[in-house]
Amino acid sequence: MEETLTQAKPTSGFLDQVRWNSDDLVPAIAQDFKSGRVLMMAWMNRESLALTASEGYAVYWSRSRKGLWRKGESSGFLQKVREIRLDCDGDTVLLLVEQEGGIACHTGRSSCFYNLLQDGDWQVSQPVLQDPKAIYK
């Protein structure tokens, strides 16, 4: 049987244990469930974290759009959540995910962390897997 996020209807009590910042947001790191590779960082509010826990797919808060952002809603590259963790200070969420389609970044790369500091300069360390113009039509 495949392991998956327990999708029992969570109570709001777990939301009260999160240390939300002054904008009522918390940083959320998405990490590949199998490889451990960090894929991206985004923000969550109470509603997006509650939806993520109940639906089993990553939902973030878009600060630029000022609204919920269901990861993959326009690209098709959904993040199936296998585990949700809270750090020791209660101020950062970790999502262990299965990245559908292998692309987590809006640039068409597998991870948003593709810039590598080498010799004092940022170097691109990952190839574009799919042209963003083809992803976001």
Residues of each annotated binding site for Mg(2+): 87, 89, 91
Determine the residue type at 118.
Answer: Q
- Which residues are annotated binding-site positions? 87-89, 91, 105, 112
Identify the DSSP state of 57: B
What whole-number distance in Å separates Cα of residue 19 and Cα of residue 91?
5
Chain CA centroid to CA 40, Å: 6
CA 36, 37, 40: angle at the middle one, nearest 5? Answer: 125
- What SS3 class is residue 26? strand
- Which residues are annotated binding-site positions for Zn(2+)? 88, 105, 112
